[in-house]
A and B are shown apart, each in its own frame.
Chain A
Amino acid sequence: MKRKSTVLLAGIAITGSAVFMVLSAPQPFDEKVLPAHKPDMANGRVIYDAGGCISCHKPAKGAGDVNLPSGGAPLKTPIGTFYPPNITGDANSGIGNWSDLQFVNAMMAGVSPTGQHYFPAFPYTSYARLKITDVLDLKAYLMSLKKVDTKGQKTTHLLAEPVLRRGMGVWKKVSFEQGDFVADTTQTASWNRGAYLVAGAGHCNECHTPRNFAMGLDFSRHLAGGPHPEGKGKVPSLRGLKKRKRFSSVDDLNSALRFGEILGYEDMSSGGMGDVQTNMSKLPEAETKAIAEYLFSLQ
């Protein structure tokens, strides 16, 4: 009897592990997804600023040029402290040796060049909406920046990281959806441009859309605001901005995105929005205006 239950338990454990390994297996893209493409550096820069890459990939305080994404500044999250990596083109410590496919997989499949899952602190969940050509342009832009050698820089080490990391594969099955951004043909081109920037590079949903029990984005409450991911306070809703008289017009909202508190727009600085707004201020005006047009239209 005892032996039977041991065998049964072992069986369950083996089956369980096998199921876990299958469910959690990384699923990178294949070379075939890459189009023939000549990188557009200016567009890469737009994606870089819209994504606000520098906000997370900045160097630690006093550790380097704040305008280069050499990584290392600590990012505290409920599961531990992340040290975002160097994404300049340095061959050893940065992304200098990454192939285009590896970069696309990192950005859009959340899979590292060594075939491991990234934690969604890196918002590939949003970047999955990007056009592959935009991702390739971003890579070209990053490679054009001054290369920073960050050998010896602190890297992320979480408790039980290998298991957690692999487990992200299961989380992805539940909470990560791939697939292109879908335009709304009843709207203007600029509205759709705004919607694309918000959903993709801008990764606005990561904070402004509340999460469900599985920590996935709850799109039934799209951009409706919710608890702040850092645990204190709230992230405001971006719906009904017009009705709630938060902004008087698309131009007013555009001006808030471009200038923030410099033009006295309150609550464009706290909770991490200050960095977001600084990055948006670097975008060509047509881009922020498109974002404003889209957001202002949300009921």
Chain B
Amino acid sequence: MTMISRISKTTMMLGAVVVLATGGAAADGHLGKIKERQEAMKAVGGGMKIIVGTAKGEMAFDAAAINKAAMTIKTNLEKSSSLFPEGTGEESGVENRAKPEIWLDTEGFAAAMKKAIVAAEKVAGVTQKADLMPALGQLGAGCKGCHENFRAPKK
């Protein structure tokens, strides 16, 4: 084996290692974003439980608790708005339910997210039980509006 061929072989192997490593890093980045947004949505779900439970009368009305739950929803929705970079749909290879429409209709997706955020803010400002149901109606419609167009059915 000549020196040159040995060098080129080493270079090729090194190259392969680099490609694998960066590929892995990109996938890790995507995986991170997907996990982060799934966590954020879980937090949103947690907040919803308190608000829905109160609206249904399963929990006593507590303005401070409603405010806290609604703010949790708001901040997590805001956070997740930036957690949908291109390449993190099903093409990422990581199981998740983001539909391609998120990137085909970026404006529609942003508007749907915004609607839910604004609605969460309104719920946060509710101080009496009578106002909770109408405000929750808006917030729930926000969840629905986004999910029906941008979230795929369960695998």
Q: Which 7 A-B pairs have the closest CB atoms?
A: A274-B148, A262-B140, A271-B153, A233-B153, A269-B147, A261-B144, A264-B52
Interface hits, A244-286 → B, CB 8 Å? 259-264, 266-275
Residue of A nearest to B100 (CB): A232
- Complex interface: chain A residues within 8 A of B147 (CB): 261, 269-270, 274
Q: Is B154 an interface residue (CB 8 A)?
A: yes
Q: Is A239 an interface residue (CB 8 A)?
A: no
Interface hits, B136-155 → A, CB 8 Å? 136-137, 140-141, 143-144, 147-148, 151-155
Q: Can you report 8 residue pairs joining A to B where beta carbons are below 8 Å apart?
A: A233-B97, A235-B153, A263-B140, A264-B52, A269-B148, A270-B97, A270-B152, A275-B148
What residues make up the interface of B, taking CB atoms closer than 8 Å to A? 45, 48-49, 51-52, 55-56, 90, 97, 136-137, 140-141, 143-144, 147-148, 151-155
- Complex interface: chain B residues within 8 A of A275 (CB): 148
- The answer to whether A266 touches B45, judged by C-beta atoms less than 8 angstroms apart, is yes
- The answer to whether A270 touches B151, judged by C-beta atoms less than 8 angstroms apart, is yes
Q: Is A243 an interface residue (CB 8 A)?
A: no
- The answer to whether A270 touches B140, judged by C-beta atoms less than 8 angstroms apart, is no
Residue of A nearest to B56 (CB): A263
Number of interface residues of A (CB under 8 A): 22
Residue of A nearest to B139 (CB): A262
Q: Nearest-CB distance from A126 to chain B (Å)?
A: 20
Q: Is A221 an interface residue (CB 8 A)?
A: no
- The answer to whether B154 touches A233, judged by C-beta atoms less than 8 angstroms apart, is yes
- Complex interface: chain A residues within 8 A of B55 (CB): 263
Q: Is A228 an interface residue (CB 8 A)?
A: yes
Residue of A nearest to B155 (CB): A233
| Given A234-B154, A268-B144, A271-B152; 15 other pairs, CB 8 A cutoff | A233-B97, A233-B152, A233-B153, A259-B140, A260-B140, A261-B147, A263-B52, A263-B140, A264-B45, A264-B49, A269-B147, A270-B152, A270-B153, A274-B147, A274-B148
- The answer to whether B152 touches A262, judged by C-beta atoms less than 8 angstroms apart, is no
- The answer to whether B137 touches A269, judged by C-beta atoms less than 8 angstroms apart, is no
A50 to B22, CA, bound (A): 53
Q: Is A120 an interface residue (CB 8 A)?
A: no
A235 to B153, CA, bound (A): 7
A260 to B140, CA, bound (A): 8
Contact A274/B144 with A262-B136, A262-B137, A264-B52 known, Cβ cut-off 8 Å: yes
Q: Nearest-CB distance from A275 to chain B (Å)?
A: 7
The winner among A259, A262, A273, A275 for most chain B CB atoms within 10 A is A262
- The answer to whether A270 touches B49, judged by C-beta atoms less than 8 angstroms apart, is no
A225 to B148, CA, bound (A): 19
- Complex interface: chain A residues within 8 A of B154 (CB): 233-234, 236, 267, 270
- Complex interface: chain B residues within 8 A of A274 (CB): 144, 147-148
Q: Nearest-CB distance from A54 to chain B (Å)?
A: 14
A267 to B143, CA, bound (A): 11
Q: Nearest-CB distance from A123 to chain B (Å)?
A: 19
A271 to B147, CA, bound (A): 9
- The answer to whether A232 touches B144, judged by C-beta atoms less than 8 angstroms apart, is no
- Complex interface: chain A residues within 8 A of B151 (CB): 269-270
- The answer to whether A262 touches B141, judged by C-beta atoms less than 8 angstroms apart, is yes
Interface hits, A166-219 → B, CB 8 Å? none
- The answer to whether A232 touches B153, judged by C-beta atoms less than 8 angstroms apart, is yes
The winner among A236, A270, A271, A272 for most chain B CB atoms within 10 A is A270
- The answer to whether B141 touches A234, judged by C-beta atoms less than 8 angstroms apart, is no
- Complex interface: chain A residues within 8 A of B49 (CB): 264
- The answer to whether A260 touches B153, judged by C-beta atoms less than 8 angstroms apart, is no
Residue of B nearest to A266 (CB): B45
